[in-house]
Homo-oligomer: A and B are copies of this chain.
Amino acid sequence: MRIVVLAGGIGGARFLRGLKAAAPDAEITVIGNTGDDIHLFGLKVCPDLDTVMYTLGGGIHEEQGWGRADESFTVKEELAAYGVGPEWFGLGDRDFATHIVRTQMIDAGYPLSAVTEALCARWRPGVRLIPMSDDRVETHVVIDTPEEGRKAVHFQEYWVRLHASVPAQAILPVGAETAKPAPGVLQAIGEADLVLFPPSNPVVSIGTILAVPGIRAAIAEAGVPVVGLSPIIGGAPVRGMADKVLAAVGVESTAAAVAAHYGSGLLDGWLVDTSDAAAVAEVEAAGIRCRAVPLLMTDVEAAAAMAREALELAEEVR
């Protein structure tokens, strides 16, 4: 079975670990979000790709969900001693090495997809991890500030520095309209037996991937089941601040509203949490098969159970 998964960071990575446990023989291709990539200290940082790679490769900081286990912060402290920031982005020493290798390869002319493959040669994530695009796409968030009025900031500045503490007026995937899917992306979708949307952020993670011209259409026209899992439980995001960016695109923070945002033209099946069982009828009325199952990824087994539910729902709608 060939499965394509569109993934953001922590939620996508943890779901993928469950999926690997639930379908050990499946060929899994992960199309990773690169919209929150950022250049820091002259280095190219790909937070979502790295979270997937570290999580599936056994190098992740488990409690935190991102970054490396047993991490130290000597380089960052030294950079701060030089007065060089930003200090709000937590790059550890082990993590720095990844960005140094990536930047060196990109400067040598390799596309991000080839670099990602090279990094994965170390981590052996057990999936094929492809960035959504080799072209630069950068998610910007429009906010209103007392000092400077309305302005756009990098997604990481909004998310990590500001903790999404001010309303997002708009989400701009800058560069997306001219970006091309990375080599292998459309082919993987075309050859997939099913496509899964993990409980990743529907706007700045999966939404950004779908904003790369060709990807949404390829999924919609693949003729295979497309099943998603709600990142919203009981009217609130499971982690992160997805409600803030959903509001920016006019979508309520409910499991049903997110399903409707993807739409029945894209989604065939949708899993909501048992606490959102009341939403099932509404989602099904919109033409998307829906089931209520436990959606909290408390551990790998819980994530695997969710993956099994998604696979079953996919067979049901096939």
Contacts and interface: CB of A to CB of B under 8 A. Distances in A.
A93 B75 contact: yes
A82 B97 contact: yes
A83 interface: yes
B96 A82 contact: no
A94 B78 CA distance: 6
Contacts of A93: 72, 74-75, 78, 93
Interface string A33-50: 000000001110000000
A116 to B, nearest CB: 12
Contacts of A100: 41-43, 75, 79, 84
Most B CB contacts (10 A, CB to CB) among A43, A78, A96, A119 go to A78
Contacts of A84: 100-101, 104
A68 to B, nearest CB: 8
Nearest to A71: B74
The list of the 6 closest CB pairs from A to B, nearest first, reads: A78-B97, A42-B104, A74-B93, A75-B97, A79-B97, A82-B101
Nearest to A107: B42
Contacts of A118: 82
A1 interface: no
A223 to B, nearest CB: 39
A75 B79 CA distance: 14
27 contacts: A41-B100, A41-B101, A42-B100, A42-B104, A72-B72, A72-B74, A74-B74, A74-B93, A74-B97, A75-B75, A75-B93, A75-B97, A75-B100, A77-B97, A78-B93, A78-B97, A79-B97, A79-B100, A81-B97, A81-B122, A82-B98, A82-B118, A82-B122, A83-B121, A84-B104, A93-B93, A96-B96
